[in-house]
Amino acid sequence: MLLRNATESDVTTIQSIYAHWVRYGTGSFEIEPPDVAEMSRRRAEILSKGLPYLVAEHQGSVMGFAYANSFRPRPAYRFTVENSVYVHPDALRLGMARLLMAELLTRCEQWGARQIIAVIGDSANEKSIGFHAQMGFRHMGTLHATGWKFGRWLDTVMMQRALGKGSSEAALGEPSAR
């Protein structure tokens, strides 16, 4: 398995993986999958902030991706990021999500993030909730009936993990746009 920075040539595959989870899963609250151009725009926006956008290759094919983005746009949130990890359904249980997340956490800390937030669609999404718990995230709360998808109400589960020194001391400097 190879982890690397996502390139523009990966976007079509990234879009395909994400489209599957939009169509058949509750982890994303999008109803219609964004097209390749929109996924490319989103990737460029994330990279313009210096934040990581990674892919995992298995047997020469991109089979998963992960990225971090700003948690909220207001300046006081600048040390907090939100994570996303998606793996092709044929690559589940290969440890790919764990490798992507571990690298994402490292890169977010290097960037200067102090907190990382997981915003998980569907409180019944036990695999994602369990995965984040295994990666050191703590359950912070559940927002009930925040999304309507597949003819039912879905909750949003909020999980959080400190990075580096977390809140143990004042933030010095600014996160970098490397």
Q: Flag whether 49 is in a domain.
A: yes
Give the β-pairing of 53-58 and 80-87: unpaired
How does pLDDT run across 4-34, given as a tens digit for each residue?
999 999 999 999 999 999 999 999 999 999 9
What single letter denotes the amino acid at residue 23?
Answer: R
Query: In the prediction, which pLDDT does 178 show?
Result: 42
> Considering the chain, what percentage of its residues have pLDDT values greater than 90?
88
Residue 24 lies in a domain: yes
Which of 139, 54, 48 has the alpha carbon at shortest distance from 96?
Answer: 54
Tokens of 155: 């909750």
Per-residue DSSP letter, 8: G
Q: Is residue 169 part of a domain?
A: no
Q: What is the per-residue pLDDT across 67-118, written as a single tens digit (0 to 9) for each?
A: 999 999 999 999 999 999 999 998 888 899 999 999 999 999 999 999 999 9
When divided into structural domains, the chain yields a total of 1
Residue found by looking up tokens 């004042």 in the block: 170
Closest CA to 120 of 138, 94, 108: 138
* Residue 32 counted as domain residue: yes
* pTM for the whole structure: 0.94
What CATH number does the domain containing 124 carry?
3.40.630.30
Q: How far apart are CA 46 and CA 33, in angstroms?
A: 18
Task: Give the pLDDT mean for 133-162.
Answer: 98
Domain that holds residue 104: 2-162
User: Is residue 84 situated within a structural domain?
Assistant: yes
Q: Is 102 within a domain?
A: yes
Note whether residue 33 is domain-resident.
Answer: yes
Q: Are 34 and 82 in contact (CB under 8 A)?
A: no
